[in-house]
Structure 1
Amino acid sequence: MGIYRRFLRDLLRNYIMGSGIAVLVVGGVIISTTLSISNTELLRLFFIMTSSLCIMMLAEFLVFRRHVRPIHNMMGKEKPELAAIRAAYLQTHRFPALSVMRIMGPHFLGLSIPAVIMASIGIAQGWLDLPAFYIGLAGIGAILVASMHALLEFFTTAQAIRPMLVHIRELGQRLYGEDVSLDGRVIVSIQRKFQLSAFLIGTMPLFLFSLATQIRLSNSVSSPELTLDYWKWAAIILLLGVGFSSLGARLLAKDIQQPIEDLHRVMKEVQSGDLGVRASDLYSDEFSRLIAGFNHMVKGLDAREKMNNLLLQSYYATLAAALDARDAYTAGHSTRVAKYSLMIGRAVNLSEQELDWLNKTALLHDIGKIGVRDAVLLKDGRLTDEEFEQIKRHPDLGESILKQIEPAEAMAPLLPGVRSHHERYDGRGYPDGLKGEDIPVFGRIIAVADAFDAMTSDRPYRKGMPARKAMAILAEGKGTQWDPRFIQGFMDAWRE
């Protein structure tokens, strides 16, 4: 609980500092330099403010206790549930925004409403010798002070919550191995943060000056014409100040938001698998270093991805070569089947990702033959029914072997083609007797490529037939043994 107590202590310290700056410095200076009242009235005002502060503190404490409850509940348990950790993490992130809500809600209303009521009663009963419109000016001043306090509280709270966030994340990792995060969720947008901050910073001095000047004028000048002229002049200055602050805040927010949006867009492309993308270096401030670092990182990921792909391709090719090496007469069979399969895949306009999966599937389509005895696999003569049944098991064995390879999701696209490459279009194939388009696409493509290579390759008991004759046999088998679409695609690609 030490980190939790330090968290509460930092929040309390920041709150007292923000209140001191906003209320004592700004409010105190305005009251002391603009109001001319007796000591008795000053004591009565002090009583009103003290009573209002007590009401405010009670209201704000009740709201704060509700806001901090998810964090308090998590920290009070020796082993909190993962859902409680996530809820506490989200609530901690929300604390800067919640602090603004508390200040503009129970803090502002809890102070100003009782103060206005008591001051109105005091003026009506003659306890305070102040013009009634001072109550309205006080309300405006309270809004300004609360806004300033909220601004300070937001940014100091954003700093105070960081140790707690680190602790909660470490807790999630230690107890559940989970990286607790917002997953890209935005609590307060940069646009809103910068626009409101810049607007308040730009307009606060103008409003405070106008308010203080009005009070001074009302004390020293009795001419309503002069007061009216002042407010005409002040209105123009305020409008200009508000307009310029709003424009400056908008431009500042856009200047910060644009590079972030550009980086986020490029990050989404990287996330989708495009490692060739680069962020445009259009900025001359610190974002230039951030973009340069991002591009350097993506470039490194791209190089590593290419190396990994080469290693994987070598891995598949090596597996296929090791399988084919069991029989000198089938050496290179898997590589050739992969080559013919890619010819068909390109002819029917498969995507690059599908072509990559097809190539890997074709290289490993006979991997199940590892489980077939040499006496059967390498037999020169005709196979017995029992031996042929052993051969027919190799698609199922191949699928089982590939299912053992991790990560499973990398092998998943290969499994249907490995299992189904001996299915026939008319449903008389094996191992499942699938028919027509119920046969997976890769299985139908590899069946054509496998048959063509088997017919054109030499065997101990026969010489391979010419490609023209093999093509004629494939054409005769359209719609019975093989998919007509892939037969035609292979024939078109072969002619080209």
Structure 2
Amino acid sequence: MPIYKRFIQHVILNYVIGSFTAVLLVGAIFVFSKLNVAQYELLGLVKIIVISSAIMIGCEVMAFQMHLRPVRRFFYGKSTTFKDAEAVYVRIHHLPNLSVLRIIGPHLLGFSIPAAGLALWMIHTGQLTFPFYYVVIACIGACLVASMHALVEFFLTMRAIRPLLEELREQTHQHYGLNLSLRGRVLLSLRHKFQLSATLIGAFPLFLFCLATQIRLERSNATHSSSYWLWAGTILIFGVAFAYLGGRLLTREIEQPIHHLLEKMNEVKEGRLNSNASDLYSDEFAELVEGFNMMIEGLKEREEKNGQLLESYFVTLAAALDARDAYTAGHSLRVAEYSVLIGRKGGLNETDLDLLRKTALLHDIGKIGVPDAVLLKDGKLTDEEFDQIKMHPVMGESILRRVEPAYAMAPYLPGVRSHHERYDGKGYPDQLSGEDIPLFGRIIAVADAFDAMTSDRPYRKGMKEEKAVMILEEGKGTQWDPYFAELFVQEWHRNKGIIS
């Protein structure tokens, strides 16, 4: 794969640049510019560096191949399932972290230990005339150089993996129609990234300078050298502490707005669009907050328009249904009004009242499937015709199930299907009883019955409200839920027959 080959080239180039800068350049300055070495000692040092570097590079090549093996297998077509793609996606994200291990491990185990062993052997055999503790200083310096090299390699690898991740996501989407994502999983927190980077950047030059100065003083003036580390140690402690504190303050300054925005994003995810992010920042986060708040305003506007469209949709459907029969015009709107009245008196919140109203508007939608000859018949229905009428709750549920998205219609289905169930279990279509009947079905049943009794029909005139209320009272606990029927009756008496 061309993209994979380019990635390998970038990683190798990054490693060469980092190695040359951290190991050869810094190491050469540290060793050769501060030590006055004889010709034979210089040759010995070169041997140590060459042998140890060869071991180090061998270890790094092995680690590099091991870290990239799953990625290479995938891009060369040896892993073909979506699960393989997910595993490779995570592995690529881990490569910056693995690059740190790939640098630190071989530097310490493959370079420092062999170099220290060879140096001690050469000092012991007289090939080098350095004090033994110089080897300790050199090992500390190697650790510092390795840490800085690892830091540079980490950030270069972070940049190098992005084209590879984009290619992997595109391939996976083409082959499986699915999108790869970490789904919010944090593989390395900002706190650790900034804290370690800032501390290392601040401490590295101090340690390197102190070690190099120690060697210089040792060569020039042993008296000053003996008290040097008391002064240097104090400087190091304050310098490292300042670097750590600076990294901590920087991390907090970045984490705070990020956490604030994440909190607001979670609120948006839960459907709460009324809390904008606080504009408390004067850096680039101010632009991010402004963009976030503009997005929220756009979502609010779209939500409002969608709500208006949905409301219009429900009302239009109800009106279209009622228009089939001039005698029942406005029935669905009145049932919705009565249902909301009952629900409000029953303590339903505004969200549930809105769902109840829309359910009531659609409660008879299944009558669209009933033939006009049956639905608009002037006289008494036959048993067969009444059976057709009794199917309208089921047909209504079936119609709404076909509306997409399905989750948007789901809250309305139980009430539409169950609004003709009776509290005593003798209703239809499922002969449910008591509180087994869905809540909206029990409420709409009361409202529907009242409007049906008080509305005119071709074969009869609507009864007076007083008589309809009396029938509701008599049917409490048998035909209708006693609690909701009683709420409606009480409200009717309280308003002297005016339901609004």
Give the structure-2-normalised TM-score: 0.95
Provide the C-alpha distance between the structure 1 equivalents of 2:100 and 2:313, rounded to a whole number of angstroms: 58
Aligned to 1:171: 171
TM-aligned CA distance change 1:99 to 1:493, over 3 Å: farther
Moved more, 181-190 or 349-358: 349-358
Match of 1:56 in 2: 56
Partner of 1:127: 127
Aligned length: 494
Q: Which moved more, 1:76-85 or 1:18-27?
A: 76-85
8 Å CA contact retained: 1:320, 1:364 = yes
The CA deviation at 1:384 is: 1.3
Summarize deviations over 1:407-454 as a string: whole Å, max 9, x none.
111112211111111111111111111111211112111111111211
Q: For structure 1, which segment, 37-46 or 325-334, has the greater mean C-alpha deviation from structure 2 after superposition?
A: 37-46
The aligned amino acid for 2:42 is L
Q: CA deviation at 1:91?
A: 1.4
Q: Which residue of 2 aligns with 1:7?
A: 7
**CA deviation digits over 1:290-328, x for unaligned, max 9?**
111111111111101110111011011101110110101
Q: Is the 8 A contact 1:172 1:178 kept in 2?
A: yes
SS at match of 1:35: coil
Residue 462 of structure 1: CA displacement? Answer: 3.0
In structure 1, distance between residues paired with 2:456 and 2:24: 98
The answer to whether structure 1 residue 186 and structure 2 residue 186 are counterparts is yes
SS in 1 for 2:33: helix
- Which residue identity does 2:90 align to in structure 1? L
Q: How much does 1:56 deviate?
A: 1.5
* 2:144 aligned partner: 144
| Structure 1 position 84, deviation (Å) | 1.8
* Corresponding residue of 2:391: 393
Distance across 1 between alignment mates of 2:305 and 2:491: 30
Aligned: 1:44 with 2:44: yes
CA separation in 1, counterparts of 2:163 and 2:397?
50
Residue aligning to 1:95: 95
Please tell me the residue identity of whatever aligns with 2:103: I
Render the CA deviation track for 1:373-404: whole Å, top value 9, x for unaligned: 11111112221111111110111111111111
1:19-418 maps to which residues of 2 (within 5 A)? 19-77=19-77, 80-223=80-223, 226-418=224-416
Q: Give the stretch that moved more between structures: 467-476 or 242-251.
A: 467-476
Per the TM alignment, residue 229 of structure 1 is displaced from its structure 2 partner at its CA by 2.3
State how far apart, in whole Å, the 1-side matches of 2:207 and 2:491 are.
79
CA distance in structure 1 between the aligned counterparts of 2:279 and 2:148, rounded to whole angstroms:
36
Contact 2:71–2:88 (CA<8 Å) still a contact in 1? yes
Assess if the C-alpha contact under 8 Å between 2:343 and 2:443 holds in 1.
yes
Describe the superposition over 1:318-340 as per-residue Cα deviations: whole angstroms up to 9, x where unpaired: 01110110101111111111122
In structure 2, the CA distance between the partners of 1:207 and 1:463, relative to structure 1 (3 Å rule), is same
Write the letter of the residue equivalent to 2:459: Y
Comparing 335-344 with 11-20, greater Cα deviation is found at 335-344
Q: Confirm or deny: 8 A CA contact 2:85 2:172 kept in the other structure.
A: yes
Change (3 A) 1:204 1:402: same
Cα pair distance change 1:138/1:479, threshold 3 Å? same
Q: State, as a whole percentage, how many aligned pairs show the same letter.
A: 59
Equivalent position of 1:485 in the other structure = 483
Residues of 2 paired with 1:79 and 1:113: CA distance? 38
Residues 121-144 of structure 1: per-residue CA shift (max 9 Å, x gap): 222222221111011111110111
Q: How far is the alpha carbon of 1:79 from its aligned partner?
A: 8.3
Write the deviation string for residues 251-302 of structure 1: whole angstroms up to 9, x where unpaired: 1111111111111111111111112221111000111111111111111111
Structure 1 residues without counterparts, runs of 5 or longer: none
Name the CA shift for 1:232/1:488 in 2 (closer, same or farther; >3 Å). Answer: farther
Query: Contact between 2:454 and 2:462, CA under 8 Å: does it hold in 1?
Result: yes
The within-5 A match list for 1:446-461 is 446-461=444-459
Q: Determine if contact 2:107/2:142 at 8 Å carries over to the other structure.
A: no
CA offsets 1:339-362 (integer angstroms, 9 cap, x no match): 222222222233333223222211
Distance (Å, rounded) in 1 between the aligned partners of 2:463 and 2:225: 109
Tell me if the contact between 1:455 and 1:464 (Cα under 8 Å) persists in the aligned partners: yes
Query: Contact (CA 8 Å) 1:347, 1:492: kept in 2 or not?
Result: no
Structure 2 portions without partners, runs of 5+: 496-500
Choose which of 427, 436, 439 in structure 1 pairs with 2:437. 439
Distance (Å, rounded) in 1 between the aligned partners of 2:125 and 2:206 = 34
TM superposition shift of 1:19: 1.1
Do the aligned residues in 2 keep the contact of 1:79 with 1:175 (CA within 8 Å)? no
Taking a change above 3 Å as real, the CA distance of residues 233 and 79 of structure 1, as seen in their structure-2 partners, is closer
Distance 1:89 1:457, change over 3 A: same
- 2:336 partner letter: A
Over the residues paired in the alignment, what is the CA RMSD in angstroms? Answer: 1.6
Letter in 2 for 1:450: D
459, 462, 469: which one pairs with 2:460?
A: 462
TM-score, normalisation: structure 1 = 0.96
Q: Distance in 2 between matches of 1:330 and 1:178?
A: 50
Distance 1:492 1:241, change over 3 A: farther
Query: 1:78 offset after TM fit, Å?
Result: 8.2
Q: Name the CA distance, whole Å, in 1 between partners of 2:477 and 2:25.
A: 90
Q: Would you say the 8 A contact 2:100–2:153 is kept in 1? A: yes
Residue type matched to 2:134 in 1?
Y
Q: Deviations over 1:46-95 (max 9, x none)?
A: 22222222222222222211211221111011883222222222111111
Q: Which amino acid aligns with 1:398?
A: G
